[in-house]
Amino acid sequence: MEEGFALWANPSSPHAEGRKAKQALEDARDRIKRALGWDGEVIFTSGASEALALALGRSKAKRRVVSAIEHDAVFRAAPDAPIFDENDPPDGDTILCLQHVNSETGTINPVSQMAETVRRTGALILSDCSQSAGKLDLPDADMLVVSAHKFGGPIGIGALLVRDFNLLEPMGGHERGYRQGTENLPGAMGMAAALEAGEWATTADERANFAKALGADRLTIGEAVDYIVALTHPTMSAQALLIRLDAMGIGVSAGSACSSGTLKKSRVLDAFGVQDDVASRTIRVSIGWSTTPQELEQFAEAWRSLS
């Protein structure tokens, strides 16, 4: 990122300094594609929310359908989209939005299998991979959304991965006409570096053992990752848990970060069929690239001490 900040020019400028910045930007784009194993196009955005808005707002498909467990950014981008019903699969000229890994429960959704089904009708699939990119292999989808800070990169940079630019209606401006804001070159370079590093302070076994050690308190809904854990306390409310844990120096949330400031029941837990009483006592614990084994032990001890 320091190298990117030194390249002061706008990558779209035609002069020598602009061309130098443009070369660095395209290099970062190629590095990101290689690191993710993606052979389509990459459109840089300010993060996952903008990428979702771009995909849902500029898709040439006439109809949008979303799953009930999507991030709030999806519902803000497509407020009138119907909820996906397995008994009524999308028809042609439709784009279906399905999150890869759920941001509140860690549940892994069968995006690739769903893609096989919906494509038979000519529909497209958009997958929010904010919680999986850089950690799991990308699913088979026509458009995918990634966010750099979820895998150790800087805040304020993300991307929409699209199989073909022809799936989107351009709006003019930067990124080949698919985004109006100036590219964040330092962010793009930091994003590429973070993907290439691909490092965790904890091992996969340590994270799996942590999730397993939480035992019956873990709210497991289907196959789930080991770095997002939903925990239900026997008696204490989620808000009380947040306050108690914060006082111990531990930061957790009740729901996704964009909606955890509210006191209403999590829409995601409701969609998964979690009872109101259980949902009111459930918190979300996420493990980042910098989380240490000692911090996992600290949390486990803190959790066991709560009564």
286 three-class SS: strand
Question: Which of 46, 40, 73 lies closest to 140, judged by CA?
Answer: 40
Question: Which of 118, 111, 68 lies closest to 90, judged by CA?
Answer: 118
> CA torsion 59→123→125→175, rounded to 10°?
-30
Helix or strand run (H / E) with residue 207: helix 204-213
Distance CA 189, CA 46 (A): 13
Helix 16-36 vs helix 185-197: crossing angle, to nearest 10: 30
Is residue 258 flagged as an active site residue?
yes
Write the single-letter amino acid at 198. Answer: G
CA geometry: angle 279, 282, 288, nearest 5 deg? 135
Question: Which of 54, 62, 60, 22 lies closest to 177, judged by CA?
Answer: 54
Q: Exactly one of 208, 258, 300, 306 is catalytic; which is it?
A: 258
DSSP 231: E
User: Which tokens is 70 given?
Assistant: 């999507």
> CA torsion 258→95→117→139, rounded to 10°?
-50
DSSP 265: P
User: Which residues have a catalytic role annotated?
Assistant: 258
